[in-house]
Structure 1
């Protein structure tokens, strides 16, 4: 039955009275009148609170720049009776002043231009921390951390092709069940805003006694996070413990300028002893930071071509570099970068390159051309050099692949529905995982027998295709499936989920765990990585630079 005009007017009066009383904060009067209160909204996850140092820095007084004055007003009045000699001297002084001001202006413009150019020279830790205005204790802390790592031998251990290949299905099921049980116990144990901008890349250091994670952000900043290190808090800080930053972090600026032109696209540790870290960025450079010396130096650069990915074969001095021009560069780290070979393997961007860890001659490329390809590096290096040029364009590569000598150069290819975001070999060098904008994760199994033959793969199709939302949009980093490089555990990979969770899959495509905490995490964990030597340690980062460590909530469980 429709309400009368009187009832409608009465309800409107009640609403106005309630709003007025609430504004006056007279809650007792509201309840006495029997006016129902508005339902309280559900509590949302509170973001972690950054340290007060960052707040104090933003509250500094802004110094007002001096106002510009007219040059005509600054000139002294000219004496109408001045002698010719005084006039010449005055004009000479004015000319000197004009030249000096022009030189200062040009010098200031050059400094401004220099501040926007990539840095190609060596940089110390103090220089890397200039943007954060480190104090003496902060600089001393990261130096101590790096030196403690450099004193330890951390060799990379390799898996085997036949690792975790079971003849009895029940044995594999038991292995999977044990891993699933461990992973499902993981919880959020530490959070911090490690970088100032969106996280683009991440790598977990193999140090077994620490949870040391390196994050690269959109503006060329490298965040070093000791996620479970003890941290001192101010006595006046009333923030609840669950909302405070966890661990200790340092922010370095190896790539310049500090804009989106310097986004760190990839992070890799030295495969021999993990005593240094390599970073590639959109400033068209690859740099290395030595933990022993504390110096950052350039190892490779390109002319106006964005570098998207790097990979380093284990126990090798080589590096493979993919770029936005569809090229793949082979660099010997012991030689000058001028001797690097560049192969154009696609007419569009190659977003990732992955080297087979057990047979480094096999390369995996993922391109915006929608095609995933497996290459034999030995055949690429056999392409004849013409006119002393070490650049091989797409026409020359295709011509060589169609020749008899280059027949086995390209071992296999598979076309996706849309561009391929990433593709990586697993630690055994036999399983491939790819992610694509066609909202799918695909898995391949390449047995040692197929790799041993000097011919293209007779069949190269994925054995598993899983639906996964990869539509990250403009503000979220592209989702990439990242293998755990731990050779002592059943092969598995992690990938972010658009529902603010993190998924862990086995090499067979089984969902092992879905990690989430709605009370503390309300953003997409787009970038993930796993500890190389400890099972059950996963780190992730989001679009605001906030990072999370997932670990067992109770080590005794």
Structure 2
């Protein structure tokens, strides 16, 4: 027997020789003696083998540089240097472990076969007849139970139209006490939305304007990631920031009709100290609660919009793809339905400054005017486009003008006083596209459409600023456009003489199928220079002025790994912004605490 070959951990010394050995057939290897085998293994390396070793070394160095450990191991050669752990690699925040509720033991369901008694071979005709009757009664009962279960399953998939309390919305009794405490803390004051003047921050000289912009930029540059949490279970679709100054209370709506309420700066629940650095880096900040506002909990109930009552922030309005609009009272914790449609998806809502009227846009190209003081049956519906209207915005200084953005690639400003004068046949309150176009073509409706601007692709959103004179739109043509509408143009009963965007900003809006559409959201704070926030595909949150100048680009590659598609800002505190991504993880941007700054 020849001695068995053994290899050390460093196989790089024998790989070239093994290549030579491979040229010897198995038969030859068995017939050769020990000296012959030794001669083969000690043969000088050929040029081919030397070149092969050099290629392996180069590939190993390249793969180690790219940190592809598995590929390096596949080469069969050890790494010369131990790869260093990248401390700057971002890690997503992990949700805290929830304590599962104890489920009471219930008797297990027994099959019909086991419930039936065995047939007695000696049973009398009377007992046989009785047994067959019992079996027939049991089958009828089972069939009835099956039909009832199917009916309950169908009903469970339908939208809920009744009033719902917090216990029903959360489905977890132990969480309702915490959310009630938060609601009580923010309902001591009404927090009405403060009005902005149409002439606010309109300067005679560029120097004064530059001073305001510089001061705002300096305040926003201090923002950093101060809290993260997985607030919702699915993709974030919309967000709204509560105006309470002493709290950072942010409401997020997700893809499955869930409303996530995040008290971002609240002290976290007490837990055991964890010395693991990775666990500390992915720990959640603040506290959050999840309410199932719309039903069923599927993509058919995606929350499309969240709005606070402009006169009293104790009420919250949500619209959903389940074709309903609900309001949640923070004081009572009761959610009730305000409006519903027949299989028409609701895409956006907005309220007038008085809080008494609501405008609703839908996926069929219509808008609906709903007076909240009247029954929903008196709502008036207008077909303003042949394609989906993705957003509707009410001018907060002059509520007679609304702004619509649609998939027909056109942005339009409407004078709703003309629409209100329309009269339908037999008192009908629904007006189709033909009726609206007839109004626009008539002398009485020439100023119904005050202005319009065609985009190269679908207009994903368009909003009035708090002053009622600035307009920002986002489009799939990767452009943000800005307009300035003078109050004189709104005062005249005629179409605008000129409606052309004064600024165009190139911005990647190609979110694709799995990311929420990027929308530019104005800050509702009337005390500072007008500005808006918008997410960026490079995982940052961008803040622009109303003139299109970039104020700050907020990013943190060590803590953020996804596009911040949904954004909002505090209506009273300048140094506050929030964002959410496609996995339900949300971020609070604010100045660092003094303790954190000292630690840094």
How much does 1:66 deviate?
Answer: 7.5
How much does 1:239 deviate?
Answer: 4.8
Tell me, yes or no, if the aligned pair for 1:14 and 1:35 is still in contact at 8 Å.
no
Aligned pairs for 1:135-150 within 5 A: 135=174, 138-150=175-187
Pick one of 261, 271, 285 that aligns with 1:234. Answer: 271
**Hey, what's the Cα distance between the residues in 2 that align with 1:251 and 1:234?**
21
1:496 corresponding residue in structure 2: 535
**Hey, what's the Cα distance between the residues in 2 that align with 1:508 and 1:156?**
24
Pick one of 160, 166, 170 that aligns with 2:203. Answer: 166
Aligned pairs for 1:67-466 within 5 A: 71=113, 75-79=116-120, 82-130=123-171, 133-135=172-174, 138-240=175-277, 241-466=280-505
Tell me, yes or no, if the aligned pair for 1:215 and 1:223 is still in contact at 8 Å.
yes
**Hey, what's the Cα distance between the residues in 2 that align with 1:159 and 1:430?**
10
* 1:475–1:65 distance in 2 versus 1, CA, 3 Å: farther
The answer to whether structure 1 residue 4 and structure 2 residue 47 are counterparts is yes
Tell me, yes or no, if the aligned pair for 1:284 and 1:303 is still in contact at 8 Å.
yes
SS at 1:178's partner residue?
helix
How much does 1:461 deviate?
Answer: 1.1
The answer to whether structure 1 residue 37 and structure 2 residue 81 are counterparts is yes
Tell me, yes or no, if the aligned pair for 2:309 and 2:355 is still in contact at 8 Å.
no
Tell me, yes or no, if the aligned pair for 1:371 and 1:416 is still in contact at 8 Å.
yes
Tell me, yes or no, if the aligned pair for 2:169 and 2:292 is still in contact at 8 Å.
yes
Tell me, yes or no, if the aligned pair for 1:161 and 1:430 is still in contact at 8 Å.
yes
How much does 1:50 deviate?
Answer: 1.6
2:507 corresponding residue in structure 1: 468
How much does 1:401 deviate?
Answer: 1.0
How much does 1:8 deviate?
Answer: 5.0
**Hey, what's the Cα distance between the residues in 2 that align with 1:498 and 1:84?**
80
Tell me, yes or no, if the aligned pair for 1:49 and 1:239 is still in contact at 8 Å.
no
How much does 1:147 deviate?
Answer: 2.0
* 1:88–1:481 distance in 2 versus 1, CA, 3 Å: same
SS at 1:121's partner residue?
coil
**Hey, what's the Cα distance between the residues in 2 that align with 1:464 and 1:450?**
19
Aligned length: 534
**Hey, what's the Cα distance between the residues in 2 that align with 1:3 and 1:150?**
84
**Hey, what's the Cα distance between the residues in 1 that align with 2:56 and 2:292?**
61
SS at 1:378's partner residue?
helix
Tell me, yes or no, if the aligned pair for 1:117 and 1:256 is still in contact at 8 Å.
yes
1:48 corresponding residue in structure 2: 93
How much does 1:236 deviate?
Answer: 4.5
* 1:94–1:47 distance in 2 versus 1, CA, 3 Å: same
How much does 1:388 deviate?
Answer: 2.1
**Hey, what's the Cα distance between the residues in 2 that align with 1:385 and 1:527?**
40
* 1:10–1:456 distance in 2 versus 1, CA, 3 Å: closer
How much does 1:9 deviate?
Answer: 6.3
SS at 1:503's partner residue?
strand
TM-score, normalized by length of structure 1?
Answer: 0.90
SS at 2:93's partner residue?
coil
2:525 corresponding residue in structure 1: 486
* 1:555–1:531 distance in 2 versus 1, CA, 3 Å: farther
Tell me, yes or no, if the aligned pair for 2:91 and 2:281 is still in contact at 8 Å.
no
**Hey, what's the Cα distance between the residues in 2 that align with 1:100 and 1:259?**
32
How much does 1:13 deviate?
Answer: 9.8
* RMSD between aligned residues: 2.8
1:30 corresponding residue in structure 2: none
1:29 corresponding residue in structure 2: none
1:25 corresponding residue in structure 2: none
- 1:378-418 deviation line (CA, Å, top 9, x unaligned): 11110112122111000000001111111111111111000
1:530 corresponding residue in structure 2: 569
SS at 2:559's partner residue?
coil
Unaligned runs of at least 5 residues, structure 1: 19-32
Q: Which moves more between the two structures, 112-121 or 75-84?
A: 75-84
How much does 1:7 deviate?
Answer: 2.4
SS at 2:426's partner residue?
coil
Q: Which moves more between the two structures, 531-540 or 94-103?
A: 94-103
How much does 1:243 deviate?
Answer: 2.6
TM-score, normalized by length of structure 2?
Answer: 0.84
Unaligned runs of at least 5 residues, structure 2: 1-44, 62-76
SS at 2:132's partner residue?
helix
* 1:460–1:34 distance in 2 versus 1, CA, 3 Å: closer
Tell me, yes or no, if the aligned pair for 2:348 and 2:391 is still in contact at 8 Å.
yes
